């Protein structure tokens, strides 16, 4: 028998249910929409009227639903969570997330592939982007890297050319090994990254099964202005797991978004993925004491020479509620720095400091930092004004004063703070030249020799699979020469698999 109380509860639930489906629609400017199913026409069967403001607004909004996709890292997904510090690093940096044990900082993460478009398969052989945004009380701090610890080139001036090679041909609109191997054959610094990419590491099983790296070196600065160079490494607590080409093909035939789906499902079922964050240090006075330039992003910092120091753990525990607003609109940039962190002299990083901000302005507009997912936790105070989607001007202490200095608004003491800055190039002259210590093959050979026999077989098979599609024998021979200089066995095995003999290199 249904009691009066239960009846009232049922009526309330029914009312909420019905109201949810009969909510009053409005236009973007808040006016009620009378009919959202039928356009205004001249008579029942007449032509549609231009005066139907709701129709025009609805179509115009629909026409603009898509924004330019990222030129690189277009295919990706995201999640949210927190970072908890496990070490007090105040001896080395003022950066607030790393000041005391147990401190928690909210984070947003975007994982991605690099070369292919927004709707491409997540089984592609490709580096994976690994970008983390820390929402700190002193502004947003982004660590924007990849799942592999190095990159193909060491100077940003070559980046547009490199990306053009891995994008579809402007003639055939198809990715073509002839193009990227042509570029790599004349870029010996890429040998190390190509070797890593063509192992099984090139196709992670899922985003939660891969490590991450800042790739670049950065500078930490403490309160006394003392500087130390460092790299960040994220170690997955789920274990590194990868796919073979056969496994990737089988998955791709059924699901082009398997990695996004897998990450989202784990978070939904409360199998929250975690990564430990480590740093490696080099003192400024030691930068020139190695047989390579440590700020060359084609070089890995050996864990034996530069021990990993654990500083905290990241946990992802929330999926995006609206993908466009929280993932497609998130704007990661290596130039999002906070007191205690500075960019190093890495040539590739220096170019990215400009390029990432610029691409976000192109995609999201000049006020992309005012989009909710990009807003810092602390209050933003500056006099950047107007332009598209500006919502800051009215929040000025005095809306009439959008300049500095002004007698009306004294400068606060905290606004006089100036980041400490250290450069190893105080007396340098301006040049355009390669770095002194290129050592393009040493680490590539070390990495090859560290692989198991099975891993070496997979590497050779993966390389030959793409190199066999290259029409130019000259390009094939140049790539073999790079591999041979890294390791004799490495080069000879690729040569043999491609049908070359020793006399072909005389």
DSSP 8-state secondary structure symbol assigned to residue 481: H
CB-count exposure of residue 301 (10 Å: 0-12, 13-18, 19+): buried
Strands 341-343 and 274-282, by their bridges, are unpaired
Annotated active-site residue 382? The verdict is no
- Distance, in Å, from the CA atom of 323 to the CA atom of 432, rounded to the nearest integer, reads 43
Catalytic entry in 54, 73, 116, 192 = 73
Residue 417 marked in a binding site: no
- Are 43 and 22 within 8 A, CB to CB? no
Query: Token match 């970008």: residue?
Result: 131
CA-based end-to-end distance of the chain: 96
For residue 41, the 8-state DSSP code is B
Three-state secondary structure string covering 148-213:
CCCCCCCCHHHHHHHHHHHCCCCCCCCCCHHHHHHHHHCCHHHHHHHHHHCCHHHCECCHHHCCEE
- What does the CA dihedral 459, 461, 466, 472 come to, rounded to 10 degrees? 100
Q: How far is CA 484 from CA 82, 267, 297, 336, in A?
A: 45, 45, 22, 40
Active-site option among 54, 116, 140, 146 = 146
Task: Answer for the pair 149, 193: CB distance below 8 angstroms, yes or no.
Answer: no
Dist. CA 74–CA 68, nearest whole Å: 10
Cα gap 324→416, rounded to integer Å? 38
482 is catalytic: no
Annotated binding site for heme: 356
Annotated binding site: 356
Q: Which active-site residues does the annotation give? A: 73, 146
């Amino acid at each position: 028998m249904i009691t009066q109380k239960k009846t009232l509860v049922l009526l309330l639930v029914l009312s909420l249910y019905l109201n949810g489906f009969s909510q009053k629609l409005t236009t973007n400017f808040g006016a009620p929409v009378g009919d959202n199913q039928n356009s205004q026409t001249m008579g029942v069967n007449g032509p549609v009227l231009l005066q139907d403001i709701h129709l025009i607004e609805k179509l115009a909004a629909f026409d603009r639903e898509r924004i330019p996709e990222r030129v690189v890292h277009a295919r990706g997904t995201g999640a949210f969570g927190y970072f908890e510090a496990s070490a007090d690093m105040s001896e080395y940096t003022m950066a607030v997330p790393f000041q005391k044990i147990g401190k928690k900082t909210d984070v947003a993460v975007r994982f991605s592939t690099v070369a292919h478009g927004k709707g491409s398969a997540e089984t592609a052989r490709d580096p994976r982007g690994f970008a983390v945004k820390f929402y700190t009380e002193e502004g947003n701090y982004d660590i924007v890297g990849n799942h592999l610890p190095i990159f193909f080139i060491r100077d940003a001036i070559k980046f547009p050319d490199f990306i053009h090679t891995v994008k579809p041909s402007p003639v055939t609109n198809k990715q073509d090994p002839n193009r990227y191997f042509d570029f790599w054959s004349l870029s010996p610094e890429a040998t190390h990254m190509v070797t890593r990419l063509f192992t099984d590491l090139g196709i992670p099983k899922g985003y939660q099964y891969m490590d991450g790296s800042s790739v670049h070196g950065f500078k930490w600065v403490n309160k006394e202005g003392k500087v130390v160079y460092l790299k960040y490494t994220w170690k997955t607590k789920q274990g590194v797991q990868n796919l073979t080409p056969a496994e990737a093909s089988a998955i791709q035939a059924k699901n082009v978004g398997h990695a996004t789906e897998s990450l989202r499902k784990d978070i939904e079922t409360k199998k929250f993925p975690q990564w430990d964050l480590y740093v490696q240090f080099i003192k400024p006075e030691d930068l020139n004491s190695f047989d390579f330039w440590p700020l060359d992003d084609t070089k890995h910092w050996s864990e034996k020479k530069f021990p990993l120091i654990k500083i905290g753990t990241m946990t992802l525990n929330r999926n995006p509620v609206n993908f466009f607003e929280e993932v497609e609109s998130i704007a990661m940039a290596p130039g999002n720095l906070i007191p205690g962190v500075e960019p190093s002299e890495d040539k590739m990083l220096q170019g990215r400091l400009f390029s990432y901000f610029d691409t976000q302005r192109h995609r999201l507009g000049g006020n992309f930092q005012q989009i909710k997912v990009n807003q810092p936790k602390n209050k933003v105070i500056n006099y950047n004004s107007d332009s598209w989607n500006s919502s800051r001007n009215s929040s000025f202490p005095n809306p009439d004063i959008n300049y500095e200095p002004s007698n009306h608004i004294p400068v606060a003491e905290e606004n006089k703070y100036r980041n400490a800055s250290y450069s190893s190039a105080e007396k340098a002259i301006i040049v355009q030249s390669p770095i002194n210590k290129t050592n393009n093959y040493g680490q590539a050979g070390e990495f090859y020799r560290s692989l198991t026999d099975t891993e070496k077989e997979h590497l050779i098979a993966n390389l030959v699979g793409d190199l066999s599609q290259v029409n130019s024998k000259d390009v094939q021979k140049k790539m073999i020469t790079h591999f041979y200089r890294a390791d004799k066995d490495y080069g000879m095995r690729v040569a043999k698999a491609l049908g070359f003999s020793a006399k072909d290199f005389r």
